[in-house]
Amino acid sequence: MIFTWNTPARDGKDGSEEMLLAFDRGRPVRVLVCPAWFDEANKLRRFTVEVMRRLDSAGIDSLLPDLPGCNESMVPLAEQTLEGWRSTMAAAAGALRATHVLAIRAGALVAPEGLPGWHYAAQSGPKLLRGMIRARTIAAREAGIFETSEDLMAQGRAAGLVLGGWSIGGAMFAALESAEPALGPGQSDIAQSTVGGPGPWLRAEPGEDAGQAGRLAALIDESVGNPAP
């Protein structure tokens, strides 16, 4: 279930060893999961793994690598860039022999475009930043400090920013300001309304919804035309 893989060297820096959670039984359909980011990653963790369990029952392998700098990763998050995460996910797709990609929320920003697959409730960079900046201004105001979104955006762009406990580097921040999810060939959107029910990322306390996880997995199973296991 828990494995490691090595990211390739990049920009003159050595690669790193990263962990992944996988349901890997060497079956023909292998779905690379690009997880939600930051706070949403926590909120969607159980949901994501439940979808993977359902795919496993349907005879589909799934592979969920950590984004470098997140979870068990040893590399500093503040040094990560959008381009770096994109190339890491593309490398993971190759190293793990993925045949499809399931990108969740902001995961759609780093989904390898060479794989067919699905963007579930894709989140844009500007919306991701807007939510996190807003959380910071609200928390600051509670503490009697007045920060404006505009100032924080300028600061983030120039030198990076810590938002909700996540150190987002300047390059990552600037790239996110205009990052929109784009569907690659053979990729399609799955809107929350198709899955039904409230978006699990909205929950203040991480929750789970087996019904939603089951419906998302069923949509994927149907879409690959996987024969029943």
Contacts with other proteins by CB under 8 A lie at: 39, 127, 130-132, 134-139, 141-142, 148-150, 164, 193, 198-199, 201-205, 207
Cα–chain-centroid distance for residue 33? 8
Cβ closer to other proteins: 116 or 131? 131
Q: How far is the CB of 152 from other proteins (least distance, A)?
A: 10
Q: Which is nearer to other proteins, 132 or 220 (CB)?
A: 132
Smallest distance, other proteins to C-beta of residue 161, A: 15
The strands making up 187-190's β-sheet, listed across from edge to edge, are 2-6, 17-23, 61-65, 30-34, 100-104, 117-120, 187-190
CB distance 15 to 32 below 8 Å: no
Q: Which is nearer to other proteins, 35 or 199 (CB)?
A: 199
Give the pairing of strands 187-190 and 117-120: parallel
| Alpha-carbon distances of 36 from 46, 107, 109, rounded to whole Å | 12, 5, 10
Instruction: State the Cα–Cα distance between residues 62 and 102, nearest whole angstrom.
Output: 9
Q: Which is nearer to other proteins, 53 or 136 (CB)?
A: 136
Closest approach, Cβ 20 to other proteins, in A, equals 26
CB of 129 to other proteins, least distance (A): 11
